[in-house]
Amino acid sequence: MTEIPNDAIDTKPFEPVELLLAADPAVLEGTMPCDEAVRTLALMDTGRGEHICVTAPDGRYLGMVTLHQCAGGGAGVTVDRVARRDHPVARPDWTAEEAAHKVVNEGLEALPVIDGNGNVKGVVTALAAHRFLLDKLKADSNVFSGLVGDPEDDYLKLSIWADFRRRVPWILGLAVAGLAAGYVVHLYESALDALVILALYMPMVADTGGNVGTQSASLVTRAISSGSLAVGDAARVLWRETRVSLLLAGALFLFAFLKVLLISNVHDVPEGLTLHGIGLAIAVALAVQVVSATLIGAILPVASLAARQDPAVVSGPALTTIVDVTGLLIYFSITTQMLGLKLVETG
């Protein structure tokens, strides 16, 4: 599988939070009087004095304070008295993306990063968070089409051998998966011989499954790229896509049923079966395939993100192959059961 490289700052989703930290954050001891703190902050570089961490004498983090709060503290009031002690914090094991989203979603001016011992490791400013998310969105907008955005991954400069090595595992894997699809058709060959009309609607089922699966994967990948979805949202994604897929399945069920009734030749129907029964079986199979393909398309990008893989691997043939195999199994299983077709062992 293709690991997402970690050497391109601000363009990949799994970089450590350290990449966003201000080089030299302002830190004041909580016992310092506010008037002295104001004089100290006035001597600092512009920007450093805007996001101030307050610490205990032993260096443990206490909270955050602003220059305005210190100025309003008055004589004899110490910094720890005016500091905001419930200010949100991040941990060093957070990713840059997690910290950036925390800043943006909660409207913070700064987010201190505190280790397990209570020491201040740095501060993520709102400017750094917004820049990171904007850069990430630009880079990830091409993820679904396979354009990862790694500046070192120059198509023309990449050696033929390196290009071959990164492509061949997926091509071979998909070829093996393609054999599974062929085996499913072979397994139900007797059903196709008994009812040729099933073969006529196989492409419709396969194409519809591929279309809805690709659409679902595209929407979820775009949501991941924009930062509105994370791995922890998998259950919400599945619940949402289940409801959407049921509506799609209902619409396509009606379409498939009417298509079989209006287009199919009644003379192709064997004795003992009716066009209405065949249309119902095909429509049910298509509806189930729509739900299945939608959920597969939705969960694959989230699963690849959880495995720290490039979500682009779910685009194109990878998703299509998975949906094709499951779709054929669904199609033949449902139609043969509903129509009472007997399977005959083929040599």
Q: What is the distance between the alpha carbons of residues 17 and 123, in angstroms, rounded to a whole number? A: 10
**DSSP string for 279-303:** HHHHHHHHHHHHHHHHHHHHHHHHH
The CATH number that applies at residue 93 is: 3.10.580.10
Same domain, 131 and 170: no
Return the pLDDT at 243. Answer: 94
3-state secondary structure of 15: coil
CB-CB neighbours of 94 under 10 Å: 20
> pLDDT class for 47, splitting at 50, 70, 90?
low
- Residue 7 falls inside a structural domain: no
Global pTM?
Answer: 0.53
Same domain, 175 and 292: yes
Same domain, 134 and 171: no
Full domain range(s) for residue 252: 160-339
- How many domains are contained in the chain? 2
Q: What percent of the chain has pLDDT over 90?
A: 16
Asked if pLDDT for residue 288 goes beyond 60, the answer is yes
- Residue 207 falls inside a structural domain: yes
- Residue 10 falls inside a structural domain: no
Q: What is the distance between the alpha carbons of residues 32 and 36, in angstroms, rounded to a whole number? A: 7
Same domain, 115 and 85: yes
pLDDT digits (tens, 9 = 90+) for 215-266: 888 888 878 776 777 778 888 889 999 999 999 999 999 999 998 888 877 7
- Residue 3 falls inside a structural domain: no
Return the pLDDT at 10. Answer: 39
Same domain, 237 and 120: no
